[in-house]
């Protein structure tokens, strides 16, 4: 069943009005007809089961048949602080992390990052990344569209993480898996969790120390060294398994 996102002011008492590019997608790409069922989200994890009622040039009217509450989101809010990787790896990270349930993604410039953006390039990339985030949210039937922020410095990222209930930083020199299991077991429903993932060359030792000094837990993801685009997904999968109700 196809899913579409709308703003709250598009939701009426008994119908939802779809506008913008989704109108063309419904009419000319999917070639949907009156009476077909679709899912519509308000971006805040409220899901409307609707049937297409009217197909016009500028809008599609969908009749609300049922309303579902919180259903698709994890019981914790996970923010990924991802060090900027080379090439198009960031696009893969965004897509897969959102499929797994990440709440927000923050690109971070760290000491060993090779990729550097000027402001114009950063704005363009962020727009592209948010488009990928929206597509991934639709495909995985998320209740929200997770945000991808503008790239920040490592110092700024640590400052953002201070407000979170728990922060995890995978590091090859961290204690054994028993320690990691003990840390992860402390994560409970309703908590906000930050994940810091380093670039291809990993975090500099002083960066890990800075994170720990601000309250982060250094953990291990096993005896193997994971690529930057794999590490976040591995940890996100663990958190999903541990907390999904």
Which of 24, 42, 68 finishes a domain? 68
**What Å distances lie between residue 196 and 81, 84, 159, CA to CA?**
5, 11, 13
Residue 24 CB contacts under 8 Å (≥ 6 apart), including other chains: none
Residue range 173-197, pLDDT digits in tens: 887 899 999 999 999 999 999 999 9
> pLDDT band for position 70 (50/70/90)?
low
How many residues are present in the chain? 245
Residue-level pLDDT at 187: 96
How many structural domains are present in the chain? 2
Provide the residue range defining the domain that includes 166. 77-243
Q: Looking at the structure, tell me whether residues 116 and 205 fall in a common domain.
A: yes
Q: What is the CATH number of the domain that holds 55?
A: 2.40.240.20
- In this predicted model, what pLDDT tens digit does every residue of 152-169 receive, in sequence order? 999 999 999 999 999 999
Predicted confidence (pLDDT) at residue 101 exceeds the cutoff of 70: yes
Condensed to tens digits (0 to 9), the pLDDT of residues 29-67 reads 999 999 999 988 887 767 888 999 999 999 999 999 988
Average pLDDT rounded to a whole number, residues 118-134: 94
β-pairing, 104-109 vs 152-153, is parallel
Q: Whole-number mean pLDDT of the chain?
A: 92
Measured CA to CA in angstroms, residue 83 lies from 10, 141, 195 at distances of: 37, 27, 11
Can you give the pLDDT at residue 236?
96
Same domain for 59 and 87: no
Confidence at 145, pLDDT banded by 50, 70, 90: confident
194-211 pLDDT per residue, tens? 999 999 989 999 999 999
Residues 61 and 84 in one domain: no
Contact 133, 103 (CB under 8 A): no
Contacts of 189 (CB under 8 A, 6+ apart): 75, 76, 243, 245
20-30 pLDDT, tens per residue?
999 999 999 99
For the ranges 6-15, 65-74, 207-216, the maximum mean pLDDT occurs at 207-216
The CATH number that applies at residue 174 is: 3.40.1280.10
Phi and psi at 167, nearest 5°, equal: -130, 130
């Amino acid at each position: 069943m196809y899913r579409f996102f709308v703003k709250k002011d598009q939701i009426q008492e008994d119908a939802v009005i779809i506008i913008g590019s989704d109108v063309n997608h419904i009419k000319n790409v999917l070639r949907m007809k009156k009476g077909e069922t679709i899912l519509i989200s308000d971006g805040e994890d409220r899901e409307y089961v609707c049937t297409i009622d009217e197909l016009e040039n500028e809008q599609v009217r969908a009749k609300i048949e049922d309303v579902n509450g919180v259903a698709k989101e994890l019981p914790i809010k996970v923010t990924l602080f991802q060090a900027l990787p080379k090439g198009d790896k960031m696009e893969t990270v965004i897509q897969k992390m959102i499929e797994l349930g990440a709440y927000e993604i923050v690109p971070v410039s760290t000491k060993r990052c090779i990729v550097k953006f000027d402001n114009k390039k950063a704005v363009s990339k962020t727009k592209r990344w948010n488009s990928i985030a929206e597509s991934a949210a639709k495909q995985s039937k998320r209740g929200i569209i997770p945000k991808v922020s503008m790239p920040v410095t490592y110092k700024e990222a640590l400052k953002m993480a201070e407000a979170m209930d728990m922060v995890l930083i995978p590091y090859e020199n961290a204690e054994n898996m028993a320690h990691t299991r003990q840390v992860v077991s402390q994560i409970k429903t309703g908590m906000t969790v930050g994940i810091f993932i380093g670039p291809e060359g990993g975090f500099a030792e002083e960066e890990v120390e800075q994170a720990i000094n601000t309250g982060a837990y250094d953990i291990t993801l096993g005896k193997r060294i994971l690529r930057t685009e794999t590490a976040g997904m591995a940890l996100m999968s663990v958190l999903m398994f541990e907390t999904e109700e």
